[in-house]
């Protein structure tokens, strides 16, 4: 079954296949200027690619060789991003524009007919590719030159020659397995060095973040958060109370492995500045997004679902944070609260609520004297 027939079936169903020869007549002829065959990425692989790049609403996704526009449309429709599709074939550009209107994302996407090698990629925070290995290799210097530090590049099927990917994902397909690769643009200067920091270096460097007055979690708790994120494959996280970013670094290190991203909230401007610097220095910016302000007003503006939430801000506000985040945590996700042992008197009623909540399974992790409650949502 060709890719075109597969897609026709997806859109119109098998019953309409008798019309296929009429509707697809000429569609498989070689297209002018194309050095890449037109084969579509199945929708579930598109979804896996966008998840691997941890696409979110602040992203600008460029799909180079955008075909019928499905990647850009999915990025806008399912992840709230903005997107640009570059496609050499004008018929496919016109088709993409029609699909975008039907998906009601026309105002957040743009499709342009043109040569991807002549397109300015500097506005992109994510670039998606399904080209060939050879075209990827030719594109690589342009990606490195134009993309901002931390921009993610995701390629379906084809790697980048001797540029090793950060992650490689295998996705089941109807006929065969699909391989998806992720790279993070090293960009210029500082980030160029830091993005390449290996895990051992980050684990050593993270202790330099710890400072008196920053109320950082003990190292064992940081390691616990990392293990939980990486071990459970969590990808969408929220932290309430960043301080200067110590615990966020541990979670970001886990999310670097799962292809996920943490949103972390901090009300204090000075501590937030320090956190931003720390994330940058350790090359973890692609995996952690700092939002400044009061969590109580920020949380209602953040869309779920989350795989996990780590609460580590003012103890008297824990019940309020919980009320706000509970509906945004998916079933199987975790709500974690720090200091439930060290601040037992202040948090007694809160912990009792967690332990008796009909939709939660709660236990207390006691590896540090601070104590972390871990509540898994049923
Ligand atoms: C215990 S510290 C967090 C430590 C951090 N998790 C770590 O391990 O490095 C608590 C932080 O929560 C912040 N905070 C308190 N209330 C907040 C709120 N309503 N919204 C956002 N941040 C808040 C404080 O400014 C403080 O930096």
Q: With 0-12 CB in 10 A as exposed, 13-18 as middle and 19+ as buried, what is 157?
A: middle
Residues 38 and 301: their CA atoms lie apart, in Å, by: 40
Q: Which residue minimizes the CA distance to atom 27 of ligand 1?
A: 243
Condensed to tens digits (0 to 9), the pLDDT of residues 59-97 reads 999 999 999 999 999 999 999 999 999 999 999 999 999
Question: For ligand 1, what atom is nearest to the CA of residue 294?
Answer: 20
What does pLDDT average to over the chain? 86
Of 242, 246, 274, the one to substitute when testing ligand 1's pocket (max ligand atoms within 8 A of C-beta) is 242
Between the alpha carbon of residue 140 and those of residues 81, 161, 185, the distances in Å are: 24, 9, 10
> Which pLDDT does position 257 carry in this prediction?
83
Question: From the CA of 277, how far away is ligand 1's center (Å)?
Answer: 17
Of 238, 243, 342, the one to substitute when testing ligand 1's pocket (max ligand atoms within 8 A of C-beta) is 243
Q: Which residue minimizes the CA distance to atom 25 of ligand 1?
A: 268
Query: Cβ(168) to ligand 1 under 6 A?
Result: no
Q: Shortest CA distance to 187 belongs to which of 162, 215, 134, 151?
A: 151
> In the structure encoding, which two tokens stand for residue 153, read together?
């590049």
Condensed to tens digits (0 to 9), the pLDDT of residues 92-129 reads 999 999 999 999 999 999 999 999 999 999 999 999 99
Question: From the CA of 276, how far away is ligand 1's center (Å)?
Answer: 14
Q: Which residue minimizes the CA distance to atom 26 of ligand 1?
A: 243
DSSP summary character for residue 338: E
> Which pLDDT does position 37 carry in this prediction?
67
pLDDT block averages, 10 residues each, the chain of length 378: 32 29 26 60 92 92 95 96 95 96 96 94 94 88 86 92 85 87 70 59 92 96 95 93 98 88 96 95 91 97 95 98 98 97 98 98 97 97
Delineate the domains of the chain, giving CATH numbers in brackets.
1-30 (no CATH), 32-186 (3.40.50.150), 199-377 (3.40.50.150)
Q: Is 363 helix (H, G, I), strand (E, B) or coil?
A: strand
Condensed to tens digits (0 to 9), the pLDDT of residues 188-203 reads 433 334 445 788 889 9
Residues 116 and 88: their CA atoms lie apart, in Å, by: 8
> Which pLDDT does position 4 carry in this prediction?
34
> Which pLDDT does position 196 carry in this prediction?
55
Question: From the CA of 265, how far away is ligand 1's center (Å)?
Answer: 8
């Amino acid at each position: 079954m060709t890719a075109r027939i597969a897609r026709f079936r997806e859109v119109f169903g098998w019953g309409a296949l008798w019309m296929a020869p009429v509707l697809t007549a000429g569609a498989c002829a070689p297209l002018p200027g194309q050095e890449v065959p037109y084969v579509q990425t199945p929708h579930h692989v598109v979804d896996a690619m966008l998840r691997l790049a941890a696409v979110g609403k602040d992203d600008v996704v460029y799909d180079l060789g955008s075909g019928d526009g499905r990647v850009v449309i999915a990025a806008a429709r399912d992840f709230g991003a903005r997107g640009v599709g570059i496609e050499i074939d004008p018929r496919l550009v016109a088709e993409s524009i029609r699909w975008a209107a039907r998906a009601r994302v026309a105002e957040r996407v743009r499709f342009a007919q043109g040569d991807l090698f002549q397109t300015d990629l500097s506005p992109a925070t994510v670039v998606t590719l399904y080209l060939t290995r050879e075209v990827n290799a030719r594109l690589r210097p342009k990606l490195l030159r134009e993309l901002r530090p931390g921009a993610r590049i995701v390629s379906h099927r084809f790697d980048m020659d001797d540029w090793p990917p950060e992650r490689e994902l295998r996705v089941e397909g109807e006929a065969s397995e699909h391989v998806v690769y992720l790279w993070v643009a090293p960009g210029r200067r500082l980030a160029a060095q830091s993005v390449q920091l290996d895990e051992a270096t980050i684990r050593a460097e993270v202790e330099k973040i710890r400072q008196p007055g920053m109320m950082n979690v003990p190292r064992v708790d940081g390691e616990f958060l990392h293990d939980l994120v990486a071990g459970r494959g969590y990808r969408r996280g929220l932290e309430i109370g960043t301080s200067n970013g110590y615990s966020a670094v541990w979670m970001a290190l886990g999310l670097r492995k799962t292809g996920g991203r943490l949103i972390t909230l901090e009300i204090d401007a000075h501590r937030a500045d320090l956190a931003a610097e720390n994330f940058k220095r350790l090359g973890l910016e692609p995996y952690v997004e700092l939002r400044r302000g009061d969590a109580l007003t920020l949380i209602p503006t953040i869309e779920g679902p989350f795989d996990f939430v780590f609460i580590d801000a003012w103890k008297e506000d824990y019940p309020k944070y919980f009320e706000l985040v509970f509906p945004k945590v998916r079933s199987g996700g975790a709500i974690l609260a720090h200091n439930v042992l060290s601040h037992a008197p202040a948090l007694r009623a809160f912990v009792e609520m967690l332990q008796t909540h009909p939709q939660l399974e709660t236990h207390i992790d006691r590896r540090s004297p601070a104590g972390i409650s871990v509540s898994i949502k049923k």
